[in-house]
Amino acid sequence: MRRESVKVLLLASAAAFVLSACALSGNKGTAPSLFDLGPMSSQAVAPVPDLQLSEMSAPPWLAGSGIAYRLAYQNEFQPQFYRDSRWTAPPAALLSERLRQKLALAPRGAGSKPVVLRLELVEFEQRFSSPTQSEVRVSLRARLGEGAGITQTFEAVKPSRSGDAAGAVRAFSEASDEVLTQILAWAALTATAKP
């Protein structure tokens, strides 16, 4: 009986040692890959009015740094996020910084006072129509001016070169540049047309 008790005690001690060693080692997985929108495209930017940018808003599910995708061929109502890939900042912050970069390069149009530009991120996801085909969608709602202002929605859709986060990121970069260029052109045209 005593031998059995000693064996049980030794086995329990060995198990406790192994478990504590695992806990101390951390046994962490690899860190996620971090992505941003990369270098800006060389698209020409039309002269823009003096724009006063307000903070870009986003829906709660796009407020984090996850790279969103949707398997539309399985369940189009279920957004998902890549497990091992992240944005370096939430999409709205990345787009805001990209817009500031574009504004820094754009010539200023003639204008008397700054015009308020508010942007709302509507969509920023990769959508799979099949296991091998996907595209990214970037959609922004822009409001120019105080109060109700003038509102318009802009969207760009670009095919993903591959069905993974890296392929999506390249397409996101292209679509983001396209949408922001459209918004700046609209803001320039709308601001000059206002009485």
Residue 41: pLDDT band (50, 70, 90) is confident
Residue 13 in any domain: the answer is: no
* pLDDT mean over 15-30: 48
Residue 103 in any domain: the answer is: yes
User: What pLDDT does residue 20 have?
Assistant: 43
Residue 16 in any domain: the answer is: no
* pLDDT mean over 110-118: 80
- The whole-chain average pLDDT of the chain stands at 84
Residue 188 in any domain: the answer is: yes
Residue 5 in any domain: the answer is: no
140-194 per-position pLDDT tens digit: 999 998 777 799 999 999 999 999 999 999 999 999 999 999 999 999 888 776 5
Full residue range of the structural domain in which residue 105 is found: 35-193
Residue 115 in any domain: the answer is: yes
Report the CATH number that the domain containing residue 80 is assigned in CATH.
Answer: 3.40.50.10610
Residue 17 in any domain: the answer is: no
Residue 36: pLDDT band (50, 70, 90) is very high
User: What pLDDT does residue 189 have?
Assistant: 87
Count of domains forming the chain = 1
User: What pLDDT does residue 9 have?
Assistant: 46
Q: DSSP of the chain, one letter per residue?
A: -HHHHHHHHHHHHHHHHHHHHHHHH----PPPEEE---SPP------B--EEEPPPB--GGGSSSEEEEEEHHHHTT-EEEEEEEEESS-HHHHHHHHHHHHHHHSPBPP-SS-EEEEEEEEEEEEEEEETTEEEEEEEEEEEESSTT-EEEEEEEEEE-SSSSHHHHHHHHHHHHHHHHHHHHHHHHHHHHH--
pTM for the whole thing? Answer: 0.80
Residue 41 in any domain: the answer is: yes
69-105 per-position pLDDT tens digit: 999 999 999 999 999 999 999 999 999 999 999 988 8
User: What pLDDT does residue 113 have?
Assistant: 78
